[in-house]
Amino acid sequence: MQEGGRVSGKVALVTGGAGGIGGASARLLAQEGAAVVIADLLAEDGRSLETQITEAGGRALFVRLDVTDEEDWDRAIKATLNSFGKLDVIVNNAGVSHRNGVEETTLDAWDWVMAVNVKGVFLGTKAAIPEMRKAGGGSIINISSIYGMVGSATSSAYHASKGAVRIFTKSTAIQYASENIRANSVHPGFVDSPMTRAHHDVPGINEERVGKTPLGRMGQPEDIAAGILYLASEESSFVTGSELVIDGGMTAQ
């Protein structure tokens, strides 16, 4: 792990950090010098990643976190401070997908998607801000989606949730800019990850999505992690309230 890396000396908490985009981000942040808190409900995967990072010479801690539970957030922040002493970066990445139209979406499904994708981001942001204030600033990175910017034929609740993340991030950015706390949203396009793999395995779906992407391939978690690293680093010190779209050109059409 790099002592002089791009986020050397920083402490970052990544929700949904046990795999996919979150796992790739935790790995990359650790490689670039950050102490990383891997927050997830998937304890076995999270602890395995913690071991991988520490055995490679990095600093990592797994904490079990239900992002919809405010008390869980309090415990996760306390564990972060007990292990690493501060919090500089939060990556609100945990999320769920739901692929139904308006009439087919049940109230329970709507509430579930909103709880994880929106309330989880709100609670994480709210919990991180006091510690970032103590640290003299910080970077809040909220994972939205291209589906927080454009519509599609299905996924009504998912679109609504990711649009909420986009606007909530801008509001946060304006409220806390004077305290050197930055907030930005990341908008992945079609990415091959554990959350999307079952859908991409449906015959024709992978080919359809690659066909819609000008760069001609599916995104990988590492593609998104590279953008998250940029927003976590001081290279983005003049960037707040922005949308980082990483979609292979899909929304440029």
Order the strands of the 89-92 sheet from edge to edge: 59-64, 35-40, 11-15, 89-92, 138-143, 181-188, 243-246
Looking at the domain 11-246, which fold is it?
A: Rossmann fold (3.40.50)
pLDDT of 206: 77
pLDDT of 185: 98
- For range 141-150, the mean pLDDT: 97
> Residues 170-201: pLDDT tens digits?
999 999 999 999 999 999 999 987 766 665 66
> Residues 202-223: pLDDT tens digits?
666 778 888 889 999 999 999 9
Every domain of the chain and the residues it spans: 11-246
pLDDT of 203: 66
- Cα 80 from Cα 18, distance rounded (Å): 16
Confidence at 161, pLDDT banded by 50, 70, 90? very high
Cβ-based neighbours of 45, under 8 Å, separated by 6 or more = 18, 19, 23
- For range 18-44, the mean pLDDT: 98
User: What's the whole-model pTM score?
Assistant: 0.95
**147 labelled catalytic:** no
- Cα 249 from Cα 235, distance rounded (Å): 23
Higher pLDDT, 237 or 155: 237
pLDDT of 195: 67
> Residues 46-84: pLDDT tens digits?
999 999 999 999 999 999 999 999 999 999 999 999 999
| SS3 state of residue 12 | strand
Q: Mean of the per-residue pLDDT values for the chain?
A: 95
Looking at 147, 158, 176, 230, which residue is catalytic? 158
